[in-house]
Amino acid sequence: MNWKWPLVLIVLFISSAAFSADRIETLLQGRNAQLNECMAHLPARESIAWQDSRGRGTFPESCKREKLLRDDARDMQRYQKALYQLAKTAHLPSDQLTIAQEESQDIAIQMVEITRKLSDEFQMVHSSLINNMLVNFGVKKGGQCYQWVRGLLAGLPQKPYHVYERWWGGAHLHKILENNGLVWTVRGQPLKTGIVYDAWRGNGDPWWRLVTKDHYPWMVRFDEQEILSGSATVEGIAEIKAANRKQSQ
């Protein structure tokens, strides 16, 4: 066997891994450039009127979208690092960590981009609890915790990842304080070792926390097999009322 071929394959593998590792960084650089371009062409009398929901101060209204997308890319970086840390904590072998590097980036990009799409759709108010009341009264159509989980899961690739496993987590089920969240763990690990993603608590922005660090007592509501088979379903008060009205007509 020609000795050059193994060397070529190794070089290609390393190049591919390096390219993959730069996906979010490249995205962030592009969005930084877009934001800087927007800021450089502000109207002379632009007022700084928009309050950043992520606690990063006020910002020119004209560049609001560019700022949101730039901060989303930053959140992708942070979320990817948190997911990758799960794999490192699980003491996976080096080949599995290489896969985890790629998959954690894909998950982070997908989750944050789906969150932005759903945020545009749900038009969350500044309080998640008030948002729930508005949905229950029929003023708004969506944005409750279970609808966030349902939307996120629907937007993700409908096939298993190699290293990571998704769960529909629930807390205080069937009670007034019920919450639902999407949890990622290393495959085969229990829910308590994972990270819960709860954009409902983020009022439409990316939000996550280690399950062990959260005050909600998370438990498995649906596992990945149920999610991918389409049997993971939850209905809220507003949807039940709408269904009842339809049946009574």
Instruction: Give the residue ranges of DSSP H helices in 57-179.
Output: 64-89, 94-122, 128-136, 145-155
Q: Name the more confident of 195 and 18.
A: 195
Name the strand (E) or helix (H) holding 169: strand 164-171
| The pLDDT of residue 121 is above 70 | yes
Per-residue pLDDT of 163-175, as tens digits, reads: 999 999 999 999 9
Q: What values do phi and psi take at 228, rounded to 5?
A: -75, -20
Residue 3 structure tokens:
């000795």
Provide the β-strand partners of residue 180.
Answer: 170
Per-residue pLDDT of 226-247, as tens digits, reads: 999 999 989 876 565 555 656 6
The set of long-range contacts for 170-176, using a CB threshold of 8 Å and a minimum separation of 24, is: 170/218, 170/219, 170/220, 170/221, 171/216, 171/217, 171/218, 171/219, 172/216, 172/217, 173/219, 173/221
* Per-residue pLDDT, 18: 46
Q: Are 194 and 224 in contact (CB under 8 A)?
A: no
Report the interhelical angle of 64-89 vs 23-40 (nearest 10°). Answer: 160
Q: How confident is the model at residue 39 (pLDDT cuts 50, 70, 90)?
A: confident
Question: How much of the chain exceeds pLDDT 90, in percent?
Answer: 64
* Per-residue pLDDT, 104: 98
* Per-residue pLDDT, 86: 98
Q: Name the more confident of 44 and 156.
A: 156
Q: Return all residues near 117 (Cβ < 8 A) that are at least 6 apart.
A: 155
* Per-residue pLDDT, 42: 78
Instruction: Give the residue ranges of DSSP H helices in 1-93.
Output: 4-21, 23-40, 64-89
Residue 91 structure tokens:
């003491």
Q: Could you identify the residue written with the tokens 């560049």?
A: 63
Supply angle C-alpha 32, 29, 111, rounded to 5: 90
| The pLDDT of residue 84 is above 70 | yes
Query: What's the one-letter identity of residue 84?
Result: Y
pTM (two decimals): 0.84
Q: If you average pLDDT over every residue of the chain, what do you get?
A: 86
Instruction: From 5, 101, 142, 124, select the one nearest 53 (Cα to Cα).
Output: 124
| The pLDDT of residue 6 is above 90 | no
Question: How much of the chain exceeds pLDDT 70, in percent?
Answer: 80
* Per-residue pLDDT, 22: 81
Compute and round to an integer the Cα radius of gyration of the chain: 21
3-class SS at 206? coil
| The pLDDT of residue 17 is above 60 | no
* Per-residue pLDDT, 10: 40
Residue 58: left if φ>0, alpha if ψ -120 to 50, beta else—which one? Answer: beta
C-alpha–C-alpha distance, residues 183 and 164, integer Å: 10
Q: How confident is the model at residue 16 (pLDDT cuts 50, 70, 90)?
A: very low
